[in-house]
Structure 1
């Protein structure tokens, strides 16, 4: 693999004798999540993928899970369609080791037993962009950011527009319907946004048809999101805003290897934040305060039927409060150093859960609260007009588990002579034990371990990206390659008696990410990404479950006049499945690790800008009707089509 990386690097350097398109004046894209300072993407010492509002619409992404499938380094595993459990594995990390944010506020549910996030629930009608940072990010965001961070940035009122009405409506196969309606505006002091979104579908049967017990029962989905934002700027140096968001989804679930006709889960999330910031010292110091909360509530209801004679009524409730003081000092230049910035701050969080699932005598109960306080310091500077360096340090202190000191150091060396840049970074990250892992009980047979240590990691990465000028086009291509490696320590697993949990496991992941963008003409852009990941459970020598060795994404953007067509191909190689998590056709479980077969999905979206304010679109999903199993026993949703219109007045 190292040879492949070196070959790619040599090719990129050899084909880039001219100045890049960005160097010739194209404004670089600015990202926030990787450093918490708005920074041009080419100066960020981390692998970052940005999915814009335009990408969301032109590619037809309806849920966060759909958008994540296109990100290099990510393997998205969903047990069915919208609303079904969807887990993201970044660079070989576990799904619980991926932190998800909304406008910088954590969304991971404290009531989830492992602290993992369900990517299948989040609709994207009120999301302006998604920034995915791969690699350790605990020095900025604390617990959970081992594999990376996914930050959804919500829509805002357009600048300079007092009143804007926008929306979308669509109908499709499987009795699908979706709609969005919003109003927004800005004046010199106030800005506001109010919008709602709804979606429903009859869905598909998520249970693999190969099972002899399969009944073909479909899994329906209904979801709704409401968002309100209000901002106020009393003067040129001070601003404040408040955001409130409510999301609810209802989904029919399937069990494997046998369908269950009336198993339903309702998932609600209430989110809010209020923040204010002011600029001092002639703009050199920006200081801000933020208070936030999330309230998650899930109910899994399964009434007696022909499949089961018992009633399941599981309730999960998780709340998080956050209070943050954040500061940025713009120090200007010192000798060879320019654009020197210093960040520092304090954040206090309170997590709680009150959850009960299962039935006596094996009822699972978690009723606990935890508090933590973190102090962070980071610096960013540009040296000799070509070397950007970023350093971060954060100390997390908690009352009921060992704290953790995380750090990250990275640099980007610009090579304008070759239209290239080289990236090097390393850092540590951690995942605090969840409330269930520390305090949960299962009847009298299991007790959580309050003495658990955080899971932790050390990671490094090295990469090269080059702009290639060919055939008279300065922006003909952009090619990049990144090599990464992570060592996971103190992983939490059951003890030998299955009576509690311990820090007993270690694992390792390494691999490479390659991407290539071609722009042979102004109306055509081609993109491809190939991720190679090799993982190992160091206690067994086996590959980690659900991490395939190869994942390939390819798409194109064809824009002719007012028509935009975007085909997308997603290939997932064979992936290992854990023992007792894989089933034969007759429903019996494998007792050793087995592999899920590879699969390919083809999507196609087309849109026509009928007038300056109105567009029509058609979105086709899984056009070849592939039925491969991302997770053993659960198949990919079948072929579907959605048509509709989008407007902005």
Structure 2
């Protein structure tokens, strides 16, 4: 059987490599011989862009190329007819492309290491976490079921060192990790990731990197669209969502509603030493969630104004670890979240001026007062408030025909509030409020000679907080060579910080734990280097990352009128990664990809790197193998992932959790009936029915089946 599979792979590779390959190099101009930049040049499977001089270069085995740019008529030419010059005819713009205000660097010079995660429109994602963890460089140790908490780790760093940004607004600048299950996956337009020390762009909590999520705001052309999705699955799962979009030449409106309900009571295998050859049911695990999101965008020439709001309510039963089921039985967490954003962008002095105003409100209530064994009785209500205003200005200034300078300035000010009301003992209430402000300067020099592009940039940021001020910086460089083999070399060097959370500073909710108001911010310095090559329809990239973290906050047991757990700045860690990824698309209907991340994360607080223990719950390796089949109506995907071993104690003396592999499969079929697009879909998760753990005494579900249908109609 294996020999047949190997023979089939070799045949596919031979067929792909046997195709004729052309190197097309030309200049794109308008009828008056002016160069046209940022033209999308595509052969159907590969896309490149023309530079400021109108020059482009592409390796292709296709028969034709398509040229597209807003404001010009689309053009399609045979590769043999392209020649040395392509002339595009201007065309009036009816509806400008929607632009989204982000942080200052995004105006003129995005970081060279920014990557965009693919979101398959024919695949149903159960959470935002599933989208983001589709790459091995991002990992989650949470239960992989709808409605469950979803925290992520970038490049083996702590979850609280991964900054989440939603439409330009940081969601966890307070030193905590962010639960991605609070975001509706159906409302996500795109996801981008920047790795390794990016506090200069996002502020606190960006030691490992940051994830930038952009929500849906409308269509790319005028018209109306209505969609309805419904899905049922294993463990009592049911989800429904509805969205409506209205696009007019100057006004865009969108609303999205979603409802999720699931029991999540699954059967798992009991550890052999506990009870051999037996199983149990993970009960008291129900999840319910409702959300509504609305956005309005107004377009005036080259300016836009956007208003967005989201409201989400949820209830989650929390069963605790399986060795303490009676201690946490009937425990639950309920709450709501409301996020509001107002942004507008206008052209000013050959540049772009942007303003973003936001208000985020969260409230949760935890109740563990009805457990049969009342060991850890607890009942408290938490409230979070985060508001602010961000202003930015960016400009591209040509210095010579080949050399240009981009610069951007931004400033931000806001207010954070945190309250924890202990409903059993009001003497333990917490009340924490703080103001913040920061400013950012970024400059970039870009040399574009057509055959190659060399870019060097630097960014500085200064943060004012009520506890301590922070200064961070980042240097970036990239070299891109266009030709038969397109090569990109890049590197970054920078610093970051993470503020201690209000929980770490002031917690006093029980006699076993006590906060530490003398905590300092965590600091890091790291670098990365990468190289990528694109040849015809084959892409490969490798990278090395290194990050040193100081003042790492760790909870340790100390003697203070008995044993008490207290957070201290005693930790120091070193995290190193080797990252490899490859993609091959021999035909338009077939896409094969693989990626791997090898991590060495050491706690070097008291020992040198050679003898130091590994950080807890950090896999030593992650890799994935994916396949997508995209025919006209039928879509099929498979996703195989392997996660390596993880240690569960700081000293690594306990046996680590073994590695595990998962295989997910999905199928979608598109039907078109009288203007309606009907898409039944079916998904099988953990096809191999693996029994595994990512935390001690926290089992994971076995095989699960999901199926549903999506209805969509569009009216120009």
Asked whether the two chains share a fold, i.e. TM above 0.5, the reply is: yes
1:227-246 aligned at under 5 Å gives the runs 227-233=293-299, 235-246=300-311
Q: Is the 8 A contact 1:579 1:593 kept in 2?
A: no
Instruction: Provide the residue aligned with 2:319 in structure 1.
Output: 254
Report the counterpart of residue 609 of structure 1 in structure 2: 670
Q: Does the 8 A contact of 1:356 with 1:366 survive in 2? A: yes
1:143 corresponds to 2:214: no
Pick aligned residue for 1:279 from 341, 347, 350: 347
Report the TM-score when normalising by structure 2: 0.79
Q: How does 1:130-279 map to 2 (within 5 A)?
A: 130-205=191-266, 209-210=270-271, 216-217=282-283, 219-233=285-299, 235-256=300-321, 257-259=323-325, 260-279=328-347
Answer whether contact 1:459 1:487 (CA < 8 A) is retained: yes
Which 10-residue stretch deviates more, 62-71 or 145-154? 62-71
Q: 1:499 to 1:527 in 2, by over 3 A?
A: closer
Are the equivalent residues in 1 in contact too, given 2:288–2:314 (CA < 8 A)?
Answer: yes
Q: Output one character per residue of 1:93-139: Cα deviation in whole Å (capped at 9) or x when no partner.
A: 111111111111112285xxx51112344330111111122221111
Aligned equivalents of 2:377, 2:242: Cα separation in 1: 39
Cα distance in 1, alignment partners of residues 133 and 402 from structure 2: 42
Change (3 A) 1:18 1:263: farther
SS at match of 1:139: helix
- Larger displacement relative to structure 2 (25-34 or 157-166): 25-34
Q: What secondary structure, in the 3-state scheme, does the structure 1 residue paired with 2:180 have?
A: coil
Q: Once structures 1 and 2 are overlaid, which stretch shifts more, 601-610 or 17-26?
A: 17-26
Does the residue aligned with 1:96 lie in a helix, a strand or coil? helix
Distance 2:476 2:445 in 1: 11
Q: Which runs of 5+ in 1 are unaligned?
A: 1-14, 469-473, 581-590
Shift of 1:618: 0.8
Task: Tell me the residue number matched to 2:27.
Answer: none
Counterpart residue number, 2:158: 94
Per the TM alignment, residue 81 of structure 1 is displaced from its structure 2 partner at its CA by 2.7
Q: 177-186 or 218-227, which moves further after superposition? A: 218-227
Match of 1:558 in 2: 629
- Report the 3-state secondary structure (helix = DSSP H, G, I; strand = E; otherwise coil) of the residue aligned with 1:258: helix
CA distance in 2, matches of 1:32, 1:206: 46
With 622-631 and 368-377 compared, the bigger mean Cα shift is at 622-631
Distance (whole Å) between structure 1 residues aligned to residue 166 and residue 492 of structure 2: 25
Instruction: Specify whether residues 45 and 206 from structure 1 end up closer, same or farther in structure 2 by C-alpha distance, changes over 3 A only.
Output: farther
1:115 corresponds to: 176
Change (3 A) 1:145 1:206: farther
The answer to whether the 8 Å contact 1:58/1:605 transfers is no
Q: Give the 5 Å matches for 1:486-565.
A: 486-494=547-555, 496-497=558-559, 498=564, 500-540=566-606, 541-565=612-636
Other-structure match for 1:625:
689
Distance in 2 separating the partners of 1:384 and 1:337: 6
C-alpha distance in 1 between matches for 2:149 and 2:461? 32
The CA deviation at 1:451 is 3.7
Q: Which has the higher contact order (CA 8 A, sep 6+)?
A: 1
The 3 A distance-change label for structure 1 pair 92 and 174 is closer
| RMSD over equivalenced CA pairs, Å | 2.9
* Alpha-carbon separation, structure 2, partners of 1:398 and 1:231: 33
Equivalent residue, structure 2, for 1:572 = 643
**CA 1:384–1:295: 2 relative to 1, 3 Å:** same
Using the TM superposition, give the Cα deviation of residue 560 of structure 1 relative to its aligned residue in structure 2, in angstroms: 2.3
Following superposition, the deviation at residue 443 of structure 1 comes to: 5.6
What per-residue deviation string (whole Å, max 9, x for no partner) do you get for residues 423-473 of structure 1?
Answer: 1111111111222223333467865444432111111111111112xxxxx
320-329 vs 349-358, which moves further: 349-358
Once residues 388 and 279 of structure 1 are traced to their aligned partners in structure 2, the CA distance between those partners, rounded to angstroms, is 25
| Equivalent pair of 2:534/2:540 in contact (CA under 8 Å) | yes
Would you say the 8 A contact 2:265–2:281 is kept in 1?
no
What SS does the aligned partner of 1:78 have? coil
Change (3 A) 1:481 1:250: same
Shift of 1:239: 2.2
Deviation digits for residues 280-327 of structure 1 (CA, Å, limit 9, x no counterpart):
22xx12112221011111222234243437753232211111111111
The 3 A distance-change label for structure 1 pair 608 and 221 is same
* Helix, strand or coil at the partner of 1:596: coil
What's the offset of the Cα at 1:533? 0.4
- Residue ranges of structure 2 left out of the alignment (5+ in a row): 1-16, 25-45, 49-56, 59-64, 70-98, 607-611
Post-superposition shift, 1:394?
Answer: 0.5
Does residue 1:463 correspond to 2:530, yes or no?
A: yes
Contact 1:222 1:250 in 2 (8 A): yes
CA gap of 1:204–1:192, structure 2 versus 1, over 3 A, is same
User: Which residue of the other structure, out of 381, 388, 393, is the alignment partner of 2:455?
Assistant: 388
Structure 1 position 189, deviation (Å): 2.2
8 Å Cα contact 2:315/2:332 also seen in 1:
yes
Judged with a 3 Å threshold, the aligned counterparts in structure 2 of structure 1 residues 378 and 306 are, in CA distance, closer, same or farther, namely: same
Query: Are 1:421 and 2:488 an aligned pair?
Result: yes
Q: Distance in 2 between matches of 1:62 and 1:310?
A: 32
Cα pair 1:89 1:98 within 8 Å, conserved = yes
Distance in 1 of aligned mates of 2:441 and 2:353: 14
Distance 1:206 1:593, change over 3 A: farther
* In structure 2, C-alpha distance between the alignment counterparts of 1:68 and 1:608, rounded to whole Å: 25
Q: For 1:630, what is the secondary structure of its paired residue?
A: strand
Give aligned pairs, total. Answer: 604
Judged with a 3 Å threshold, the aligned counterparts in structure 2 of structure 1 residues 491 and 358 are, in CA distance, closer, same or farther, namely farther
Please identify the structure whose Cα radius of gyration is greater: 2
User: Which of 399, 403, 411 is the aligned partner of 1:346?
Assistant: 411
106, 113, 123: which one aligns with 1:37: 106
CA–CA distance in 1 between the matches of 2:454 and 2:289?
47
TM-score normalised by the chain length of structure 1: 0.86
Match of 1:438, SS state, is helix
* Residue number in structure 1 paired with 2:521: 454
Asked if 1 retains the 8 angstrom alpha-carbon contact of 2:331 and 2:371, the reply is no
For 1:444 and 1:28, how far apart are their aligned partners in 2? 65
